[in-house]
Structure 1
């Protein structure tokens, strides 16, 4: 996981303590109703495209930036699907850092570019039918997010 200069500076002051972070998730859909997901390079777990909102950046701009960085595509943000947070959005990273995310979830479509691994955080990207997503090796936060956003059923959380 890449860490921004802002978060790195914050971590120097607070150590591994809990940090509340604004984030975006971009649900990129194709004409067939499939969702574009990325496979994270280090863990090989599937997850949504997205990331942290930088200081002074709007969620809309962060979503477009993350789509470009992670999947190599320019997107049109169609709507805000959800704003999500709470206990299911808390993550303790292997280095001990504790974060709680509040994520603005956007529905989007590609306006230019061909989806591919856009940066070193991404092993690959692929399109999935929503019905096939519960069987993927998703990280817990993304499984929770996709259920809360109504992409997969609640029963697939177990």
Structure 2
């Protein structure tokens, strides 16, 4: 799917410079323990259904909408995998656009096949075991989210902080003193 009108308007103002975008995706695991993946038509990389949030949209709603747009599947959200960010989530597109994504990943289940085909963003979709997934061409961010999804943990993932009260004093000493 082409970029949203919101991002198109933003790009008209700032060009190809770095934009931080909230995103959402969904991991759908079938009754055989296989994960639904889609092959991105433009890059050939396999990914989870998902994408950027629209203004005023919740991450869960974005995951449901993106999954429907890309696969034609109607889903419901059943849980949260985690919130992901870090260096793997900085993306430089072939046209020069730079985006840094903060992605909320959910678990979901298919409730109905709509009969509507996807929007063309994915050239194919399929279910893959964990071993099969490891052989697919994917982005670093997809690897991190999918490997976490396969752990089936009930505790949402988040990247451990690198800051602590001790090292923050060296970064923003006046702010810490003002708080005390």
Normalized against structure 1, the TM-score is what?
A: 0.89
Question: 1:45–1:137: 8 Å Cα contact kept in structure 2?
Answer: yes
Give the corresponding residue for 2:2.
2
1:21 lines up with 2:21 in the alignment: yes
Q: Name the SS for the 1:61 alignment partner.
A: helix
Give the corresponding residue for 1:151.
150
1:130-150 Cα offsets, whole Å, 9 max, x none, are: 121111111233123323x25
Give how far 1:8 is off. Answer: 0.6
**RMSD of the alignment, in Å?**
1.8
Give the corresponding residue for 2:128.
128
Distance 2:130 2:75 in 1: 20
1:11-43 Cα offsets, whole Å, 9 max, x none, are: 111111110000001101111111000011122
Q: Name the SS for the 2:127 alignment partner.
A: strand
Give how far 1:115 is off. Answer: 8.8
Query: Where do residues 135-146 of structure 1 align in structure 2 (5 Å cutoff)?
Result: 135-146=135-146
Give how far 1:76 is off. Answer: 1.4
Give the corresponding residue for 1:84.
84
Distance 1:30 1:50 in 2: 18
Question: 2:38–2:46: 8 Å Cα contact kept in structure 1?
Answer: yes
- Structure with the greater alpha carbon radius of gyration: 2
Give the corresponding residue for 2:176.
none
Question: 1:84–1:104: 8 Å Cα contact kept in structure 2?
Answer: yes
Which 4+ residue blocks in structure 1 deviate beyond 3 angstroms? 114-117
Question: 1:24–1:53: 8 Å Cα contact kept in structure 2?
Answer: yes
Give how far 1:116 is off. Answer: 8.3
Give the corresponding residue for 1:35.
35
Give ranges in structure 1 of 5+ residues lacking alignment.
153-158
Question: 1:24–1:105: 8 Å Cα contact kept in structure 2?
Answer: yes
Give how far 1:81 is off. Answer: 0.9
Give the paired residue count: 151
